[in-house]
Structure 1
């Protein structure tokens, strides 16, 4: 495989995520979003390619960096893949893409998972030079931890051979100790890839728990208590301050490589961006 990818990439203090239907929130919050911030575009089953392309255009127009998420199992065919990626490149010029397996139990087309999609020649065909892959510090409800690690290593080895710049973005969670242990495990195995830790912005307790079930995140009573969540008041709006503080304590003074943040703004983009801007304003440059 040809070495077509640039191995160096800027590392923004944080990234965030939006849906095609919620792209207006980026326009409303653009003054609070630092210029050049990478914004991931979710690949939902109830949205179409036109919405995904439009979201990328809006993000670009707002001075941020669109990062389309490509759900392998939702792609209907090779032609469907090329139609979507070709339009994204032509109309929004994203510098990086994120490749995931996706939720459907049965693939809509030829790609069983993101490994199959990466191996299909998609990088060369569309000149993709920077790739984001997903990490699961708290595990995955449908895949055992050993298989998750094997898949992660396969992707990293494959992308390293192409020369691609790579980042790992984790699912959001509640267990800061599990996240720190997972990063330690990566580093002990010689994996020095930059990691972005997924953190949720302020949201109602009920909404956080719904997303946790959707993402397969563990929500034991003890973990929820540490996070400061109360099952008796699902309408209570909470921020991730405890989780954030626990992560800072676990990471503090450690040589764990380049670590950043990925915001899941379940309670709204503007509130989430203001929340993480305030958190990062209190960190020195070496910890961002």
Structure 2
């Protein structure tokens, strides 16, 4: 009964939901890990049917756990996009094995390709371009391939802060999308300040990178939790948004929510229909339920969980 009341309260469709924000949240995605997914009894209680769910592959996680999580999510009705971190994949044979397992055991046909969060490669691959160049995803019939984006730069790739290597890599991936039939998009690191993100997205388009951008958003979480994750993940100048909030004792104990960040992006998109930020991708740093709850509250009808109609019918 409590779950039903939560849905009724949050799945708004009236004046309390901004039409601009609701439009931006349509088709949002969310990220999980095997250990966080285990804490959710049924994703259909939280996410709309067909939501794209990324599965982050942290170094040391057995591929068996990744595939089992992918299979479970597919069975519950979700589009699954596992991470393929280049630097933790030993060689081409390992990559082929992972692709075959995901496809054969879980029906996966899409992937996020990224360098990965380790400083030194474990094997033959250093970056996502090398993964694309193997041709294995195309051979296996993967229809959608996403790549990583960094609105505030990536010091692992560009230690000098110039973003030259990151920009060159995105231009290479743009070219790859044009010479193949892969459906591609850029999924970004989470940020906290909208104006620099908007400027970055517009600069990409001016440079000829027209891939759709799925902007990374930190879901609701304790401020201390977000600051810890932001530092660990290399979030750049927008970290000052959290630091400023931490100095306000009236806000220090309140959880951060991405209302202002999302609202500003949504307003810009509404005023510029060709804006290349097309989707929101949630990093549920405060828990999957917290991010899903925020999306339900602000996303209108498109964000209602898959199981909600069943509960509403039982209540009548």
TM-score, normalised by the number of residues in structure 2: 0.79
In 2: Cα distance, 1:276 partner to 1:174 partner: 17
User: C-alpha distance in 2, partners of 1:183/1:25?
Assistant: 35
- Of 91-100 and 23-32, more deviation after overlay is shown by 23-32
Q: Give the aligned CA root-mean-square deviation in angstroms.
A: 2.3
The correspondence for 2:197, drawn from 161, 169, 179, is: 179
Give 1:103's aligned residue.
117
Aligned to 1:8: none
How big is the shift at 1:170?
1.1
Mapped partners of 1:219, 1:205: distance in 2: 16
Higher RCO (C-alpha under 8 Å, 6+ residues apart): 2
Correspondence for 2:236: 218
Deviation of residue 221 (structure 1)?
Answer: 6.8
Deviation at 1:180, TM superposition (A): 0.5
Maintained 8 Å contact 2:32/2:55: yes
Aligned to 2:64: 50
1:205 is matched with which residue: 219, 223, 227?
223
Choose from 102, 111, 135 the match for 1:88.
Answer: 102
- Contact (CA 8 Å) 2:187, 2:214: kept in 1 or not? yes
Give a deviation string over 1:160-209, Cα, whole Å, max 9, x none.
Answer: 21111111111101121111011111222333322111111111111111
Structure with the higher helix share, 1 or 2: 2
Aligned to 2:177: 159
Q: Cα gap change, 1:277/1:121 in structure 2, threshold over 3 Å: closer, same or farther?
A: same
2:35 partner SS: coil
How many Å apart are 1:235 and its aligned residue? 5.8
1:19 aligns with 2:12: no
Matches within 5 A, 1:183-262: 183-218=201-236, 222-224=240-242, 228-230=245-247, 236-254=254-272, 255-257=274-276, 259-262=278-281
CA shift, 1:86, in A, is: 0.7
Match of 1:130 among 144, 163, 170: 144
- Deviating 4+ runs (over 6 angstroms): 231-234
- How much does 1:222 deviate? 4.3
CA-CA distance at 1:25 after TM superposition? 4.0
In 1: Cα distance, 2:238 partner to 2:189 partner: 17
Distance 1:221 1:103 in 2: 19
Q: Tell me, which stretches of 5 or more residues in structure 1 are unaligned? A: 1-10, 284-288
Tell me the matched-pair count. Answer: 272
* Structure 1, 116-125 or 96-105: larger mean CA deviation: 116-125
The residue that corresponds to 2:10 in the other structure is none
Matched, 1:268 2:287: yes
- Give the counterpart of 1:72 among 76, 80, 86: 86
User: Greater CA deviation, 61-70 or 17-26?
Assistant: 17-26
1:32 corresponds to which of 46, 50, 72: 46
TM-score by length of 1: 0.86
State the structure with more CA Rg.
Answer: 2
SS at 2:280's partner residue? strand
